[in-house]
Every structure is written in structure tokens, then in C-alpha cells.
A and B are shown apart, each in its own frame.
Chain A
Amino acid sequence: MRRLIIKRLFCMIPVLLAVSFLSMFIIDLAPGDFLTALKANPQISQSAVEQMRVRFALDRPWYVQYFHWLKAVVTRLDFGMSFSYRTPVSKLVLERLLNTLLLASTAYFLAWIIAVPVGTLAAVKKGTWIDRLSSGFAVLGLSVPQVLLALLVLYFCVATGVLPAGGMKSAADYDLLSPLGKVADVLRHLAAPAAVLSVIALATVARQTRANLLDFLEADFMRTARAKGLSERRVVLKHGLRNAFNPLITMFGFTVAGLLSTSLIVEWVMGWPGLGALTLEAVRRQDLYVVMAGLVMSSAMLAFGNLLADVLLAVNDPRISYD
């Protein structure tokens, strides 16, 4: 398995190169550049704009810019500077990435904690009202578009005022709070976006758990376990669920892979300051280096998530070997 990991990590490098190359090309496709908007501003002189252009190397063709960017990344791990925020990109992206990870991990943790027991229950009590009710909710949860759900939850927050609508911290008082107060404040802001993000994951995982467990409930080894006299609970949980977990682990890996993409909409609508919102803004403002860093980061997450899925599967299932 070590060989697999090393091989995958090596394969990740050309993919990252390809993605960053593609991103530079894409941004170059857009008419004008970051400074076009500034040029239209009469308060800034033309010469100042031209100076900025030279400083940011925006006057060179895109492949030259790419080469410089690559050199900077490889030698100094310097991902460039954000034009609109005037901070180094690596700092900005890291901070926003941590926000996104916080949101996503909370959401998926909640989703899985609820979904696996619900799915198991639905499978064990197949055909009863519990099963039908939870399956119905699962279909509903799967189908509801994230956009709509985010807007509805936002409406709920605005209408009832129970939870804050947007942002990660209360702007005015955050710094005055005690450390515990700060944590509580962030949690309050986290509740709504995490709820939205977890709905779809909940539905998918519950449904998949139920389906996988159903496959195994009548299997021969389950029948043996029951014949041995084990309690039904032990049979289902220890023997059935562990087998049913394999596709779930695959799904978990894919979830990690698609983490950034899935949380983009929720971050944008609910104002959570994450990587997705940052990339989107940067695309709009043609903030070149931020876009590139964002795309490279999400590509890295994708590769990492796929690798995680394979590794976890091999760890869980001794029948699988990659060598």
C-alpha cells in the first residue's frame, strides 16, 4: 500500500501542474485584467496603473507569467499576492481553507452521526413506517437544491432572529468576548450553514447505508451468526454493518474530494468566509493569483480525497490489496 500512496502522490504533481496551467490560461481568456477596473477610475492616474501593471507582471504573456509563478512557488512557496486584499495569497488561502474545513467537517460529522443509525434502523425494519418515513425524507433531502435550502434557512434566520444570518463572527463584539464566548459565537454562526450542508449528505448516507445493509441482512454469514445464538443487535452491528461500510468509505473519500466544490454555494449564500467564496470573488475581480491558488487547492483536495478513499478501503477490508 505504501507503493500506492507514493505513486498517487507522484501522479498528483503533473495534475496540479496541468490545473495551474489551465487556470492561468482561463484567467487570461477574460478580457482585460485586474487593473482594467482601476483604469476606468479617474482618480488613479494612468502612469500609476501602468506602474502597477509592470510590477505585477501583467503586461507579459500568460505563459511567461505562469513560468514566473511556478518558479516562485517551487523555490519560495510564494503563491503571489492578492490584488484586492493586498495580502500574500498563501496566508489568505490558508485562513479561508481552515474556515471551509471547519464548516464542512462539522456538517459532515453531524450528517454521518445521524444518518448511519437512521439508515441501519430503516434497513432492519424494512417495510415498516419507520423505513418508509425515513426513505421518503431521504428522497426529499437528496432532491432539494442547495441553493433553495440555503435561501430558506436564511429566511428562517432572518424571520425569527434565532441564529445570525451570515458571517462567521459577530463583527462588533467579537474581540471583546472571552475565549469561550468567541467559541460560542463562532458556533452560533456555524449552525445554519452546517445544517444546510449536512442535509444532502444526510440523505445520501442514510440511503446508502440502508441499501448496503439490506444486501447483507440475508447473507449466509449473517444466518450463521444468528444460528450461533448471537443477539440480533450484535449480528447486525458487528457483522452486518462492518461489511456494509465499504461503499460508505468510498463515499466518504469522494466527499472529502468534493468538499470545496460542495460548500461553494452554501458559503456564498450564507456569507461564510470560506475558500469557495474567496475564489468566486477572485474570479469576478480577476484576482489572478487567488484564483490559481484556489483551483490548485481544490484539485489537491480532490486527489487527496480519492487517495483517502482507497487507503481507508484497504484498511477496512482485508480482502483488498493493491500490490
Chain B
Amino acid sequence: MISPLRRSAALVLSGVRPRARGRRRIEERPMTKTIVEPHRPQVGHCDLDGEDEGAPRGADGAPCREKIVGGEDPEFRFPERASRHATAATCYAPGRSPLRSAIVWASGNKWAAGAAAFLLCMYGMALFAGFFAPYGMNQTHYKAPADYRYHHPMRPRVLDQEGGLHWPPFVYGTKPLGSPDRGYAEDRTVRHKLKLFARGEPYSLFFGLLEWDRHLIGVEEPGKVFLLGTDKLGRDLLSRIIYGSRISLSVGLLGIAITFCLGLAIGATSGLLGGYPDSILMRLSEVVMSLPGLYLVVALAGVLPPELSSDTRYLLIVVILSLVGWAGPARVIRGMVLSIRENDYVLAAKAVGAGTPRIVLHHVIPNTMSYIIVAATISVPYYILGEVSLSFLGVGVMEPQASWGLMLSDAQSVTALREFTWLLLPGAFLFLVVMSFNILGDGLRDALDPRARGTRAL
């Protein structure tokens, strides 16, 4: 008997349970009552417009008014039991547009919707990094004696000392108190107004296609607006965080793309073909799973030659992280495919002459989608944290690139922690992004795999 524990640890912990026929599941879920709820237009399964082909119809042909949970449609297999939380699952009615499904889901789960919105903002900010960042990624400000190094965060104010109101908000100028370690004193006689769409350092968007020099917030020179302070070289921390988010955030997406494509391909092949290819691929995946994860990644990243350009380095790191992680999803997908291919609709498709490509594309893969979406969302934080750890340890992305891990490594010394605590701010962004992905993953899992509802934290 195959051990039921051959799953990636993250997925066990997250409670994603793919259905696999013939596999003894220890955690048999208790049956709860099937709830037949009165029709509610916003979450109803039945479509009043009559587009809903799959909905049960009454004698007069009109869609029935009661929501019967537990559809007959094999493409969208619902569990027989439902609860209030599972109403989101019914949004996958045939005939309902994805946008409507998304809105239904979002209105049912505010936390996940909020997390999704936050992540969209973060990715949008990363896409237009040059615009949102007040300064360039490596822009230094030379001004003796301290070059604005280790400058504290500036506070935009509306009220001045006498209580007068100013609009737009302004920041006070600062004077250095000697060496960078001494800090800076606010000079209340000098006020620099914040400007929207200010001219600044030119930057390029979309990999060099567009060039612009307007930034969202700026201040007239020689004033400076260091909203989150500066680092050891006098570079604005907020700008570096925004530029760094490009790397840290994209690693997650790229990583899961590679891992899950690979895992899907290998798992589906293995499940469909069976026999020798199946055994070989599964042994291979076992070997890959036995490789010590982080140690191997650190070792691999540590031996990349330093002459590599930072882009190549970044790509290699993503590839390394993905190659270490494909085995878990591959095994799970193989299990799912093994059970999917025994279903009647696959037999029926074969009977009417569907070739293997069509079966794979139309029947197998859509049924694995719910698992893939949830597992991918839950895995993204691991990639992000992996890249951050690598950069933090000095073997990932290197200077002069900006990466959250690299910025956090500046905060490692005792002096930095005590005197310049704002250097920890990239960590705050990291925390928010990881938490959003976790909450989003939970929400998606509730929507797509309602039988796992018990594992919801919120």
C-alpha cells in the first residue's frame, strides 16, 4: 500500500486534500446535513435568466427556485455536504462568467478579497516602480559631511510650528550633526513642499520601452523627501523597497509558474501513461524530494560565478528554487489524474473518439485546476521567502540590485538595529505580502475545495 504521507508538507499543512480513488484517507470527514437554501439572487446557483443549462428545472421549464447543492455536472464536482461557507463554491455554475464568480466569492470572504486587492496594488506598484519611487534605485545624494547616509524617516506635515495649516504637505529640511552616526536634526526654518508628478531622475518602464521622468511624489531640490529614511549609502529606502519589490514579488510568480507547469506535465504524463514511465518518473520525484531543500539551494546559489550579470543570476536562482520544488505537486497531480481517468466522462469521451490530447486538455487538466490554483497560491510565499533568505545570506541577488533580503542584511549589525531601526522596514512589506498570500490561499481553498473548510483560520 502506498503510504498516504507522500505529499508535500506545505499542502498537508494547508489541508488541501485531493481526491484520490482507492487511497485510504485517515481523516474521514464527518457528514453534515445537506442544506437546501432558499434562492438568494446574489449567491444562488440557479440562474433566473435561464442561461443555466445545468440547473434543475421544474415542470414548466423554468429554473427551480431552490438551490440544490451538489451538482450533477461531472465537470464541477461538488461535495454532497455543504455549509454556509460553501456557498462560494456554488459560484462555479456553468454559464456564469468568471468575473461574476469572482465578485460573488469576494463578497463572501472579505479578508481574502482585501488580501487580493492589496496584492494587486503591490504588483501594480512593482510594475510601475519608477513612477511610484521618489528616487532612483541607486541614487545617492552627495552633500558633505554626511551624504544623507542613515537619514531618519521624514514625516510629511500639514501643521507648522505656529499651528498654521499648509497645503500641500511639506517636510522640514534637515541638517547633519556631523558624521552619519550622529544623525540629523530637523531644521524647522526650511520647509519643502511635496509635489505630485514631480520631475526627478529619469527611469524606464516595461524593460526600456518607455522613458519618463515624472515621479508620484517629489520635492524641489535641494530638499529631500526620505519618507522611510536612507540606508548606509544614502539611498532612499522607500525607492529601494519599491524597486526591490520587483524582484521579490516576481520570484514568486515565476517560481510557481515553472514548478507547477513542470509538476503538471510530469504528473499528468505519469498518471495517464502508467507502467514504466510512471515508475521511473515517480522514483525520480522521490529522489528530488529527498534532496535537502534549503541547504542545496544555498550551496547552488553560493557557487554561481560572480561574473554573472544580475539578471542571469536572478533567473538562475528562480530556476534553482523551482527545480527543487516540483516533485511534491507532481506526485499529488499524478494521484488526482489516476482517479480522474477512471471517471465515466473520460470513458464516454474515449467512446466518441476523443484523442488523448483532447481528453487531457478538456477533462483532466480542468479537474486538477482547483488543486493547482490553491497549491500555487500557498506556495508563492515559500518562493518569496526563499529568495529573500538567499539574498539575506549573501548568495542571492547582489548589489547594486535592490532586493528586500539584501536590504534586511544591512540591518543585521547591532549598531544598525539600535540606531537605525528603520532599516527593518523592508521586512514589514515582506510580512504584509506573505500574510496576504496566506489569507488569499485560505480564501481560494474555501471557494474551490469546500470540504477543507474546517481548516480555515478566520
- Return the chain B residue nearest A29 by Cβ: B303
Contact in complex: A295, B295 (CB < 8 Å):
yes
On chain B, the residues within 8 Å of A82 by CB distance are: none
Q: Is A30 interfacial (CB-CB < 8 Å)?
A: yes
Q: Given the complex of chains A and B, what is the CA–CA distance between A219 and B421 in angstroms?
A: 51
CB of B61 closer than 8 Å to a CB of A:
no
Contact: B30 with A219, CB < 8 Å? yes
| In the assembled complex, A167 has its CB within 8 A of some CB on chain B | no
The interface bits of chain A over 202-220 (1 if a CB of B lies within 8 angstroms of the residue's CB, else 0) are 0010011011101110111
Q: Which of A83-91, A178-186, A257-265 contacts B (4 or more CB under 8 A)?
A: A257-265
With A135-B458, A139-B438, A283-B302 known as contacts, the answer to whether A302 contacts B290 (CB < 8 A) is: yes
Chain B residues near A257 (CB, 8 Å)? 9
Cβ B287 vs Cβ A15 within 8 A? yes
Q: Is the CB of B417 within 8 A of A158?
A: yes
Bound CA span A5–B13, Å: 25
> How many angstroms from the CA of A141 to the CA of B156 in the assembled complex?
32
Question: Across the interface, which residues of B come within 8 angstroms of A148, CB to CB?
Answer: 408, 424, 427-428, 430-431
Residues of chain A with a CB closer than 8 A to B392's CB: 147, 265
Judge whether B5 and A250 touch: CB under 8 Å. yes
Contacts of B412 in A (CB 8 A): 151, 269
B431→A143 contact, CB < 8 A: yes
Residue of B nearest to A15 (CB): B290
Q: Which of A27, A283, A294, A309 has the most CB of B within 10 A?
A: A283
Nearest to A218 among chain B residues (CB) is B30
| A155→B300 CA distance, assembly (Å) | 31
CB of B15 closer than 8 Å to a CB of A: yes
B99 interfacial by beta-carbon distance below 8 Å: no
**CB within 8 Å of B: which of A153-169?**
154-155, 158-159, 165
A216 & B455 in contact (Cβ 8 Å cutoff): no
Most chain A CB within a 10 A radius of its CB, from B295, B393, B412: B295
| Contact yes or no, B458 A136, CB < 8 A | yes
Q: Assess whether A306 is in contact with B414, with CB atoms less than 8 Å apart.
A: no
Of B41-49, B342-350, B381-389, the one touching chain A:
B381-389
A260: which B residues are within 8 A, CB to CB? 292, 295
Q: Give Cα distance in the complex from A139 to B439, angstroms.
A: 8
Tell me how far the C-beta of A79 lies from the nearest C-beta in chain B, rounded to whole angstroms: 16
Structural contact, A145 and B431, CB atoms closer than 8 A:
yes
Give Cα A310 to B4, complex, Å.
Answer: 9
Chain A's closest residue to B411 (CB) is A151
Q: A145 contacts B427, CB within 8 Å?
A: yes
A151–B408 touching, CB < 8 Å: yes
A268 proximity list for chain B (CB < 8 A): 393
B433's nearest neighbour on chain A, judged by CB, is A143
Q: What residues on A are CB-neighbors of B414 within 8 Å?
A: 158, 165
Decide if B13 touches A204 in the complex (CB within 8 Å): yes
Q: Is the CB of B435 closer than 8 A to any CB of chain A? A: yes
Known contacts A139-B439, A143-B434, A151-B412; is A215 also within 8 Å of B454 by CB?
Answer: yes
A146 to B434, alpha carbons, bound, how many Å?
11
Given known pairs A155-B421, A310-B5, the reply for A215 and B299 (CB within 8 Å) is no
- Does B29 reach chain A (CB closer than 8 Å)? yes
Complex Cα distance A265/B389, Å? 7
Query: What residues of chain B lie closer than 8 Å to A320, measured between beta carbons?
Result: 4, 24, 26
Q: Is B1 an interface residue (CB 8 A)?
A: yes
Interface positions, chain B 113-162, Cβ under 8 Å from A, are: none
Please indicate the chain A residues that have their CB under 8 angstroms from the CB of B405 in the complex: 147
- Residues of B within 8 Å of A50, CB to CB, are none
- Count of chain B residues with a beta carbon within 8 Å of a chain A beta carbon: 58
List B residues 423-448 near A (Cβ within 8 Å).
Answer: 424, 427-428, 430-431, 434-435, 438-439
**Inter-chain contact B27/A215, CB cutoff 8 Å:** yes
Contacts of B3 in A (CB 8 A): 310, 322
Q: Which of B27-81 contact A (CB under 8 A)?
A: 27, 29-30, 32
Is A19 a contact partner of B292 (Cβ separation < 8 A)?
Answer: yes
Mask, A284-295, CB within 8 Å of B = 1, is 100000010011
CB-CB contacts below 8 Å: A110-134 with B: 132
Task: List the B side residues contacting A212 at CB < 8 Å.
Answer: 27, 454
Q: Which of A208, A283, A309 sits near B13, CB closer than 8 Å?
A: A208
A62 to chain B, nearest CB (A): 12
Task: Pick the most buried of B294, B388, B421: most chain A CB atoms within 10 A of its CB.
Answer: B294
> Which one of B9, B299, B454 has the greatest number of beta carbons of chain A within 10 Å?
B299
Q: Are B430 and A145 in contact (CB under 8 A)?
A: yes
* Docked complex Cα distance between A167 and B365 (Å): 51
Q: Are A280 and B298 in contact (CB under 8 A)?
A: yes
Q: A208-B13, A247-B12, A269-B412 are in contact. Are A139 and B27 (CB under 8 A)?
A: no
Tell me, yes or no, whether A299 is within 8 Å of chain B by CB: yes
B457 within 8 A of A: yes
| B424 and A155 contact, CB distance less than 8 A | yes
Give A306's nearest chain B residue, CB to CB.
B5
Min CB distance B356 to A, Å, is 33
CA distance A30 to B417 in the complex (A): 34
Chain A contacts for B417, CB-based, 8 A: 151, 154-155, 158-159
Complex CA distance for A214 and B451, rounded to whole angstroms = 12
Name the distance in Å between B181's Cβ and chain A's nearest Cβ: 16
The verdict on A198 contacting chain B, using a C-beta distance below 8 Å, is no
Given contacts A31-B305, A145-B431, 9 further A-B contacts (CB under 8 A): A29-B303, A143-B434, A151-B417, A212-B27, A247-B27, A260-B292, A261-B294, A284-B395, A303-B290
CB-defined A-B contacts under 8 Å, sample of 18: A22-B291, A26-B299, A144-B431, A144-B434, A147-B389, A155-B421, A155-B424, A159-B418, A215-B30, A219-B30, A251-B12, A254-B9, A269-B412, A280-B302, A284-B394, A298-B292, A299-B292, A313-B5
10 tightest CB-CB pairs across the interface, nearest first? A148-B427, A143-B435, A298-B292, A30-B303, A211-B455, A261-B294, A283-B302, A254-B9, A135-B457, A155-B417
